[in-house]
Amino acid sequence: SPAKKCEKTSVAILGGGVAGITAAQTLSNSSIHDFIILEYNSDIGGRMRHTTFGQDANGKPLTVELGANWIQGLGTNGGPQNPIWLLAQKYGVNNTYSDYSSILTYDETGYVNYSSLFDDYENAYSVTEELAGTILSENLQDRNARAGFTRGDWRPKKDMKMQAVEWWEWDWEYAYEPEVSSLVFGIVNFNTTFYQWSDENNFVVDQRGFNTWLKGEASTFLKKNDTRLRLNTTVTNVTYSDTGVTITDSQGGCYQADYAICTFSLGVLQNEAVSFQPEFPEWKQDGIDNFDMGTYTKIFLQFPPDKVFWPKDTQYFLYADPVERGFYPVFQSLDTPGFLEGSGIIFVTVVHDQSYRVEAQTDEETKNQVLAVLRDMFGADKVPDPIAFMYPRWSLEPWSYGSYSNWPYGVTLEMHQNLRANLGRLYFAGEATSAEYFGFLQGAWYEGQSAAEQVVTCLNGHCAQEVHYSPLYGSTPPNQYDEQNGWTVTSFQTNGF
């Protein structure tokens, strides 16, 4: 039988990103050392990914992050702390406070001060938050974030300055418009991170790369060249049952595992990049299909450092395009004290449809559009040609198919649990399976741990299946906001805020 040729292991971990590595660490900590990690790329880290870009004054290439960049929600002394913040401190990751009040506002005519709109948005957001709380606690129907904002009397419509402010406040975090985003779960996602720990975000500029902490953690249980870590290995098929999981890769490799933990991104699952046998039951497939995989694109430009044309003491420059919402809206300076000072680097972020646009364009086309915007903002004579230009195409990467997930409106916690729940001996973990921290590194970290804990329990002979729901009803009863549905901390955080 073909199974005879397969390599045997207790636990196969599919993917070596944050969730995969924390799953392996959890197994190790439980004295389960018989596992293998199958990873597509030539290194661990997954969507915590950096590259070299441009160079410093000495000709040394600079490192910039293509994926995760911020430690989001740090922690208070004596209070709860974001695990990513603790790990970043443990490995001395170089990071700087991201000051969201350090922002100047622009439109196609140049600098125009519309910063009072931030306060208007904040006022509306308070009303929106209260509405979300009422909906959740009274088990009412969810709605989109747009409807929530309207309740707070925030109606940007054709006002492009309001649209730019709204993009900065919402789309920049969720990678989707308020129209398609869940009011309730969007607000909870914010609260669990920023009201539980702290409202600070620190931006990582470590020249070893942000994922240096993950590599550090991996080295506590993986030896150098550890044969359990299989890099450059593309999983193509996963056959699962109640007795085991067989995995094959594109090189013909085969692995026979007692249990498997799949940490592939929602994008990979949605694109059917890997085939699963038997076909997923309807409840599981629905869980996968009903969530959204966002795309978030950072477009990097390096200018001659002596020709930097933006004020160096400012971190952010918001642009309101007169025609298109989200058209090169947020420029972020790295040539600012505490970041990569003297680098001449600035980058602009786009998401969703605008990401798909730049992914379909050539680099040259995109560069010309960005330069035209910068010249409108800062003056045509002030902005020289860049000496380096680069951006990733996340939605086209066959190992991620996008950046991170978003919770669409009207999708219940039960539906999310279906995305998360195991199928026989195949478990799921990752950023998207986190009900409360989806889209964040901490989501991947907690979920990797949680799936591995389930597997440990099984290996110790006390296996309990994770719950799933079929059929699904219109809303999730309040008493189901509990740990077995991935709801671990209260959605009503009060930690001093």
Ligand X SMILES: Cc1cc2nc3c(=O)[nH]c(=O)nc-3n(C[C@H](O)[C@H](O)[C@H](O)COP(=O)(O)OP(=O)(O)OC[C@H]3O[C@@H](n4cnc5c(N)ncnc54)[C@H](O)[C@@H]3O)c2cc1C
Q: Which residues bind ligand X (CB under 6 A)?
A: 15-20, 38-41, 46-48, 67-70, 72, 233-235, 263-265, 268, 273-274, 296, 394, 399-400, 403-404, 430-431, 439-441, 443-444
C-alpha–C-alpha distance, residues 247 and 356, integer Å: 32
Task: Rank residues 162 and 204 by Cβ distance to ligand X and give the closer one.
Answer: 204
Residue closer to ligand X (CB basis): 41 or 485:
41
CB nearer to ligand X: give 38 or 346: 38
Residue 252 Cβ vs ligand X, minimum distance, rounded to whole Å? 14
Residues 304 and 344 sit within 8 Å (Cβ to Cβ): yes
Which tokens hold the place of 359? 């992914």
| Smallest distance, ligand X to C-beta of residue 397, A | 8
To the nearest whole angstrom, how small is the minimum distance from the Cβ of residue 305 to ligand X? 25
The span from the CA of 106 to the CA of 376, in Å, is 9
Q: Of 138, 98, 82, 121, whose CA–CA distance to 495 is shortest?
A: 82
Closest contact distance (angstroms) between CB of 400 and ligand X is 5
CA 86 – CA 99 distance, rounded (Å): 20
Closer residue to ligand X (CB): 254 or 463: 254
The count of other CB atoms within 10 Å of the CB of residue 211 is 28
CB of 197 to ligand X, least distance (A): 12
Spatial separation of the C-alpha atoms in residues 153 and 16, rounded to whole Å: 45
Q: For the CB of residue 64, give the shortest distance to ligand X in the complex, in Å.
A: 11
Q: How far apart are CA 56 and CA 342, in angstroms?
A: 8
Task: Write b or e for each residue in 149-177: b if 16 or more Cβ atoms lie within 10 A of its Cβ, otherwise e.
Answer: bbebebebeeebbbbbbbbbbbbbbbbbb
The four Cα atoms 430, 15, 351, 142 give a dihedral, to 10 degrees, of -20
CB 146 within 8 A of CB 179: yes
Of 233 and 315, CB closest to ligand X: 233
Least distance in Å: CB of 429 to ligand X? 7
Q: Is the Cβ of residue 205 or residue 235 nearer to ligand X in the bound state?
A: 235
Beta carbons of 400 and 267 less than 8 angstroms apart: yes
Closest approach of Cβ 401 to ligand X, in Å?
9
**Residue among 74 and 318 whose Cβ is closer to ligand X:** 74
Nearer of residues 288 and 372 to ligand X, judged by Cβ? 288
Q: Count Cβ atoms within 10 A of the Cβ of residue 278 and give its class: 0-12 exposed, 13-18 middle, 19 or more buried.
A: exposed
Inter-CA distances, 125 with 128, 145, 172, 184, Å: 5, 10, 15, 12
**Measured from the CB of residue 235, what is the shortest distance to ligand X in angstroms?**
4
Distance CA 114, CA 374 (A): 18
Question: What's the closest the beta carbon of residue 42 comes to ligand X, in angstroms?
Answer: 10
Question: Looking at beta carbons only, is 160 or 421 nearer to ligand X?
Answer: 421
Which is nearer to ligand X, 40 or 283 (by Cβ)?
A: 40
Residue 446's H or E segment, with its range, is helix 441-459
Q: Which of 259, 394 has the CB closer to ligand X? A: 394
What phi and psi, each to the nearest 5 degrees, are found at residue 36? -130, 150
What are the strands, taking DSSP E only, across 109-195? 110-111
The whole-angstrom separation of Cα 296 and Cα 188 is 21
For the CB of residue 259, give the shortest distance to ligand X in the complex, in Å: 17
